[in-house]
Chains A and B, each alone.
Chain A
């Protein structure tokens, strides 16, 4: 054991890193190497079946091979994705390799030929000393990767998530070793302050300053907490980072704990992220074995214990005081600030809570240097930001962009040019985020949301909406989520989200014929929306309540004509709000064939044969089957 530790110290201090990086392509291999991307997204896509097929293939043919589990590139539309390197050849990456494609693919690749199904080919990792595949692009030249600035995701698709050796190979733990040997905690805080790194969770507080506050606190015990909860359903970037590189998170929390003199680190993670937890636990075991955490790290008399706390998933746990209560075993409810957690936090001790993405970025600062970090991003918003691309995107996934890029820059990567015009809006920042109108697609996305025109990234979720999406329906969806996830403590958030939801619901619901001034009541609701939003923003206790009305307000500002359509015309252009529709049979056109009555799933259509039929509106569920079934165009939609 001690010998191993000595060895590691030696390696971390002396071993130089090769300056050239050729991805998966490696010299001196003698048998085929298969690299399977395993992440929660690829498991959903079916990578496990493909792996089984690969194993079966090789055992049947009795060929020697090596199979590695590597991290995910972040491109969900390429899943399940595998890469293969044959001896003497460049590594080549394939996309959408479902289990039925495996045999054909391996048949040709093992014979150093490209597969018949050309749609499987993604790219190759170019290496000057290996022979390359003809007509296969270099992975660096693919638009999806070329237009990003992949710093955190640099080794995604290459590094093996479940092996500390793989991380050490790509420069892992060097930053921590350097800090432990040469820098005092104050140096670390100052350096981070100089880098201008700001919290990626949404608050945007300067991380260096925050650490310094905790460092200056004389308390004998301090806690460093990593918030990896990721309970926002539309943003999974932090989880991808942990799944693909758990050791980098551990290195980050070690640096953070050292910088504030904390002896305990807690990684708070949502229990639903099974793969991330599994890999994190494995990584923790390995670091303990290698002596990188625990008691007396590298004989520096520094003790840092790391533990994983599995939360049950609540959106409000993104708020640091709520997260702390959750760890303490209480209800996850935000507390009044001040006192801030950096003074009185977990169990009454000073505590720093950082988002996982912030911690990953702090490793970059110390590994590549402050100047290198500051090269990306814009003034006051340095570094890169991960975005989770959802909605009607042609290339959904997780991408990494410089701070200060525009919505258009992102759309160029994730959307095909021909679909570009059909994009109605982009929803940025998760449930508490905003709708962005195409007019504002050229505005920068930065922290500086106060200056005119710039956008705020929130949780980094990026939802593309086109003509088939109803803005009001999406707003209702987010509000419903927030209403359920509100902790219920303060009045503006608990009652405000409920009221907002009720008003929006009323707008999308079937008009009540008994009320004479129905439209007027709906319109009055619209006026109330603004009032409620204002009081929520001004008086809510935590960020959830303060930002909850953002979607409503931005939709009101940019898509007011949709509201008007819904209220006065009782019409949803996208056809999503089905309650507003009314199917009616035109008496003159109906010949009484009875096909619609037979097809109707709820028996809402009645009538005798060869006489005009009739739809009972109370029973109708607006499925539209009758409209498709009628050959005489006798059914119209109001």
Chain B
């Protein structure tokens, strides 16, 4: 049902059930928010979205008030702006003033709002919160002095990640957000999916940065530096610097990084493709008997989630290492002892995984450093480099034979698509394998596909998001899937917190397009076409590579 309301003196058609905020957004009116988050139900905690409605004495929060017929709304009247200004001033009263040194400087929502409201002095004063920075975790830092208690992280962890690692503690002025049991994030049930980093409007939750150490290592004469780029990082650079072709971006990046001082530059596609061929072997053995579920995931967060939060599914989980680990070990094997390897990853969970591999094995780390795409961008900028770069170069041996499977793998449904391509190629050696197994993929969180192989019909499932796994647990246990693809994020690796600090649907779409264009144009789209990996298998007499 549609009816008319008046916002800022303009009549607008709105549909019933919309809140004032959504109605305003649809019509291009920007109302500032700090606690509202598209995937979560409104809580009305920050009160910044208050608007004036004719006939009500108090201001009304736009995020939780539904529109009704004949409403006359002012979103930016003087009264509203004054109230917003005072609210932000109150928030800033106990907020640290170290914006210049802050990880979120420039992308901070609080900074943005304070700036747009033209707050130019500290109007109220209060003591800063006395809270220790939580540095227990190898991948994330909780600096709760910067927390504005919007509750996004708590809600996203509870409602979407279904982990509840963070919770509000205390009342009134003593209220704060802390990992459960107050022991620090490392000891909490956190799965390091990084959703809270994306949600946090300030730098209260941020990833641990190792950029300064990397710069030192690059300069030092004792060590050789190598770096591996995740395909989604390459896509990220391609989208952000408006370079049309994935291959071009890759070549530019390789050249730029060699200029910076890295001795070898690889892509993580190698690890991914080994992962795919190993998993294809596993799936091949299941073709006759697939009663027991088999969950394939490369995502460390997804693995931790199943291990710690859904223990009944633990036995069905694939046992293979992450692609990043595979790439890392191979680089370390083949290069000199003093090599320092840096991996660029789209997500904080890989940072945590790299640190954890090291802690578990008690040996030398496979990846000495893991940085995110955003950090790599910062690193390049600190060397005065921006893309497109003057030179192009080809990545070193591992990555010279990359197929587009490696890049496609990191998109939604990528695991199943790439594994099935390989499976088809292995089983129908004489026939030409179709380029794409599933042409029109839907965008739902839970997807089910059927396909024919050797005149037999198989089913696979693709699950995106931890909440989706919990919802469909019974389905997994009861239906016979050849295998199940599972990732902790709804938009797969390209939406990781290392790629953007906002819920940037447009960016994800761009990244997806870059990768799918690359896949469409490339005739080398199947792992079985990777001559380098074929060679490796020959060397090892078809034994497992890892």
User: Closest Cβ of chain A: how far from B420's Cβ, in Å?
Assistant: 42
Contact B175 A528 (CB under 8 A): no
Contact A498 B47 (CB under 8 A): no
Contact B83 A538 (CB under 8 A): yes
B57-97 contact mask (Cβ, 8 Å, vs A): 1 or 0: 01101011110000000000001001100110011011000
Contact A484 B42 (CB under 8 A): no
Contact B173 A491 (CB under 8 A): no
Contact A494 B149 (CB under 8 A): yes
Stretch at the interface among B164-172, B348-356, B377-385, B386-394: B164-172
Task: State the interface size on chain B (CB cutoff 8 A).
Answer: 38
Question: Which residues of B lie under 8 Å from residue A488 when comparing CB positions?
Answer: 149, 168, 170-175
Tell me the dominant secondary structure on chain B's binding face: loop
Tell me the dominant secondary structure on chain A's binding face: helix
Stretch at the interface among A215-223, A278-286, A529-537: A529-537
A543 to B47, CA, bound (A): 14
Question: Which residues of B lie under 8 Å from residue A534 when comparing CB positions?
Answer: 83, 86
- The residues in B between 101 and 144 inclusive whose CB is less than 8 angstroms from any CB of A are 123-126
Q: A491-B47, A502-B126, A541-B47 are in contact. Are A532 and B86 (CB under 8 A)?
A: yes
Is B45 an interface residue when CB atoms closer than 8 A count as contact? yes
Is A485 an interface residue when CB atoms closer than 8 A count as contact? yes
A337 to B19, CA, bound (A): 12
Is A539 an interface residue when CB atoms closer than 8 A count as contact? yes
Is B43 an interface residue when CB atoms closer than 8 A count as contact? yes
Contact B44 A535 (CB under 8 A): no
Q: A491-B90, A495-B90 are in contact. Are A484 and B44 (CB under 8 A)?
A: no
A496 to B48, CA, bound (A): 14
Q: A338-B66, A490-B46, A499-B124 are in contact. Are A535 and B173 (CB under 8 A)?
A: no
Task: State the interface size on chain A (CB cutoff 8 A).
Answer: 35
Question: Which residues of A lie under 8 Å from residue B172 when comparing CB positions?
Answer: 483-488, 494, 497-498
Question: Which residues of A lie under 8 Å from residue B91 when comparing CB positions?
Answer: 491, 495
Is A301 an interface residue when CB atoms closer than 8 A count as contact? no
Contact A491 B46 (CB under 8 A): yes
Question: Which residues of B lie under 8 Å from residue A486 when comparing CB positions?
Answer: 171-173
Q: A331-B168, A494-B172, A495-B93 are in contact. Are A539 and B50 (CB under 8 A)?
A: yes
Is A336 an interface residue when CB atoms closer than 8 A count as contact? yes
- The residues in A between 529 and 558 inclusive whose CB is less than 8 angstroms from any CB of B are 531-532, 534-535, 537-541, 546
Contact B83 A535 (CB under 8 A): yes
Question: Which residues of A lie under 8 Å from residue B126 when comparing CB positions?
Answer: 495, 498-499, 502
User: Closest Cβ of chain B: how far from A534's Cβ, in Å?
Assistant: 8
User: Closest Cβ of chain B: how far from A50's Cβ, in Å?
Assistant: 40
Question: Which residues of B lie under 8 Å from residue A538 when comparing CB positions?
Answer: 50, 58-59, 79, 83
CB closest chain-A residue, reference B63: A336
B39-56 contact mask (Cβ, 8 Å, vs A): 1 or 0: 000111111101000000
Q: Which of B42, B65, B87, B123 contacts A492 (CB 8 A)?
A: B87
Is A314 an interface residue when CB atoms closer than 8 A count as contact? yes
Apart from A494-B175, A499-B93, 5 more pairs, CB < 8 Å: A335-B43, A487-B175, A491-B148, A528-B124, A539-B59
CB-defined A-B contacts under 8 Å, sample of 25: A336-B42, A336-B64, A338-B65, A338-B66, A483-B173, A484-B173, A487-B172, A488-B168, A488-B171, A489-B43, A489-B45, A489-B149, A491-B47, A491-B87, A491-B90, A495-B94, A495-B126, A498-B93, A502-B125, A528-B124, A535-B86, A538-B83, A541-B45, A541-B47, A546-B58
Q: Which residues of B contact A (CB under 8 A)?
A: 42-48, 50, 58-59, 61, 63-66, 79, 82-83, 86-87, 90-91, 93-94, 123-126, 148-149, 151, 168, 170-175
Q: Which 5 A-B pairs have the closest CB atoms?
A: A488-B175, A336-B44, A336-B64, A495-B90, A535-B86
Q: Which residues of A contact B (CB under 8 A)?
A: 314, 331, 333, 335-338, 483-492, 494-499, 502, 528, 531-532, 534-535, 537-541, 546
